[in-house]
Amino acid sequence: MNYWLVKSEPAAYAWEQFVKDGGTAWTGVRNFTARLNLRAMKRGDLVCFYHSVTGKEIVGLAKVTKEAYPDATAKEGDWSCVDLAPVKPLGKPVPLDVIKTDKTLAGIPLVRQSRLSVSPLTKEQFTRVLALGETER
């Protein structure tokens, strides 16, 4: 199993809307590194859902329900998307300032490459997010 972090601006697509929808195609990614990450996702992988711009915190857990396929929103180029479904909200959101100061999380791509919208996490990093978020797996 692999672990991931995806980012979404709450004004564009918030966790609450994701839960209401019951899942979504994760479209619109137009970064080559993020595209490679999408293509590496496997069905059943767990995903941290991060609110960017406003909030700046990990708020929930999702899972990959469909592996990479062509992104229908792309007008040109070879872009991919995956399907995600919500699993559960974190018991307590994990804010960016906590992530930046945590020894285990300080080096994650969210901190090092803040514009990257889809990034990998190690099992240790994912487990640490769950602990900080007071959430059982």
Phi and psi dihedrals of 51, rounded to 5?
-85, 120
At 137 the pLDDT is 83
* pLDDT beneath 50, residues of the chain: none
In this prediction, residue 57 carries a pLDDT of 98
- pLDDT, residue 115, reads 87
Instruction: Enter the DSSP assignment of 43.
Output: T
Stated pTM of the model: 0.96
pLDDT given at position 114: 85
Q: Please tell me whether residue 21 adopts helix, strand or coil conformation.
A: helix
Map out the domains of the chain with their CATH numbers.
3-132 (3.10.590.10)
